[in-house]
Amino acid sequence: MNLRNCARCGKMFNYIGGQPVCDACKKAIEEDFQKVKQYIVDNPRAGLKEIAEENGVTTKQIQQWIREERLMFTSDSPLQIQCENCGAQIQTGRYCAKCKASMANNLNNTFAKPQPAIQQPVKKEGKAGMRFLDT
Ligand SMILES: [Zn+2]
Ligand SMILES: [Zn+2]
């Protein structure tokens, strides 16, 4: 047994991996996700705040889905997601395909083990071979 407090509701639950949230919250988040996904299909030009308000989710949650590449936006969306490395406009995720490819090479060389998929602030300093632009 690996008991943890749910990151969403604070309840103790048996953690088995992935996001540190309980089953009930996992289900609720998944329902929110489907709702948001459909909303973006129906309203491709909606902004982040609008999507959050209309669906009762936080902008933070939406941004997490974007980083996880679960939400896609069309090129006429006002969301303007930019590659965190080179600033190119992308439709989902954090980096453009080009930067991802070069980073995959770097990651193989730099990190011994893969990072877990859960949300964690990434330390940007001190990694040789990775450059970040000041914006
Ligand atoms: Zn919970
Ligand atoms: Zn890029």
Asked, for residue 130, whether it belongs to a domain, the answer is: no
Asked, for residue 132, whether it belongs to a domain, the answer is: no
Asked, for residue 73, whether it belongs to a domain, the answer is: yes
CA 54 to chain centre: 20
Q: Domain count of the chain? A: 1
- The answer to whether 112 and 129 are in contact (CB under 8 A) is no
Q: Which ligand is nearest to the CA of 23?
A: 1
Asked, for residue 129, whether it belongs to a domain, the answer is: no
Q: What is the pLDDT confidence band of residue 74, given thresholds at 50, 70 and 90?
A: confident
Cα 76 to averaged position of ligand 1 atoms, centre (Å): 36
The per-residue pLDDT for range 19-50, each reduced to its tens digit, is 899 999 999 999 999 999 999 999 999 999 99
Asked if residue 66 has pLDDT above 60, the reply is: yes
Domain that holds residue 47: 22-110
Cα 123 to averaged position of ligand 1 atoms, centre (Å): 28
CA distance to 18, 23, 98, 133, per residue, from 87 (Å)? 29, 37, 11, 8
Distance separating alpha carbons of residues 62 and 52, to the nearest angstrom:
7
Asked if residue 120 has pLDDT above 60, the reply is: no
Q: What is the pLDDT confidence band of residue 76, given thresholds at 50, 70 and 90?
A: confident
Using only C-alpha atoms, the chain has a radius of gyration, in whole angstroms, of 17
Cα 100 to averaged position of ligand 2 atoms, centre (Å): 7
**Token pair listed for 56:** 């009762």
- The answer to whether 106 and 129 are in contact (CB under 8 A) is yes
When pLDDT is averaged across residues 99-106 and rounded to a whole number, the result is: 91
DSSP string, 71-113: ----TT-TT-EE-TTT--EESSSSS-HHHHHHHHHHHHHH-SS
